[in-house]
């Protein structure tokens, strides 16, 4: 595994719609492993492939219960609304208020190519929406309801 450099705001790949992954190859499996290692190294709660310079629809998240990988994720349903503070590994030292669905259901493939369905609420739902936004070239500053003074205390992670 390898820690990859994280792309920072200003790079056009962060504003580009990422492409579907047609097939889970060894290269994709290696990329997922590297993304997970990179996320841990950066102390992040999640990471999307464009953040490591790869224009593919792959995300990883870990909120303390082990890494979850979703390839070609699609939000199937979304309910409720919650406003909370988010950071992003590609936008250092900034935290903003973002409105997200409170509960979502996402389908996709796991790193082995098996179809999975993830039901999430709270911070996991938020992290998944944040990462899926990255795949559509959307950053938290695009959704910002205002700057927050400080990193959210309840989230030890720096961002995602
Ligand atoms: Ni982010």
Q: What angle do CA 39, 44, 49 make, to 5 degrees?
A: 45
Q: Which of 131, 149, 151, 157 is catalytic?
A: 131
**Which domains, and CATH codes, for the chain?**
12-154 (3.90.45.10)
> Cβ of 108: how many Cβ atoms within 10 Å?
24
Q: Distance, CA 83 to ligand 1 centroid (Å)?
A: 16
pLDDT tens-digit profile of 12-47?
999 999 999 999 999 999 999 999 999 999 999 999
Residue 105 known to be catalytic: no
Q: Distance, CA 50 to ligand 1 centroid (Å)?
A: 10
pLDDT tens-digit profile of 113-145?
999 999 999 999 999 999 999 999 999 999 999
Q: Distance, CA 90 to ligand 1 centroid (Å)?
A: 6
Distance CA 146, CA 160 (A): 18
């Amino acid at each position: 595994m390898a820690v990859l450099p994280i792309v920072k705001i200003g790079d056009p790949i962060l504003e580009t719609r990422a492409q579907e992954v047609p097939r889970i190859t060894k290269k994709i499996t290696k990329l997922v492993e590297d993304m997970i290692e990179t996320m841990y190294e950066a102390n992040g709660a999640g990471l999307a492939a464009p953040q490591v310079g790869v224009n593919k629809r792959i995300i990883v998240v870990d909120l303390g219960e082990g890494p979850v990988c979703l390839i070609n994720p699609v939000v199937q349903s979304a309910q409720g609304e919650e406003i909370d503070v988010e950071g992003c590994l590609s936008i250092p030292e900034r935290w903003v208020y973002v409105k997200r669905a409170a509960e979502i259901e996402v389908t996709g493939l796991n790193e082995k190519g098996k179809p999975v369905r993830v039901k999430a609420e709270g911070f996991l739902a938020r992290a998944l929406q944040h990462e899926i936004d990255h795949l559509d070239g959307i950053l938290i500053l695009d959704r910002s309801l205002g700057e927050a003074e400080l990193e959210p205390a309840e989230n030890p992670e720096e961002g995602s």
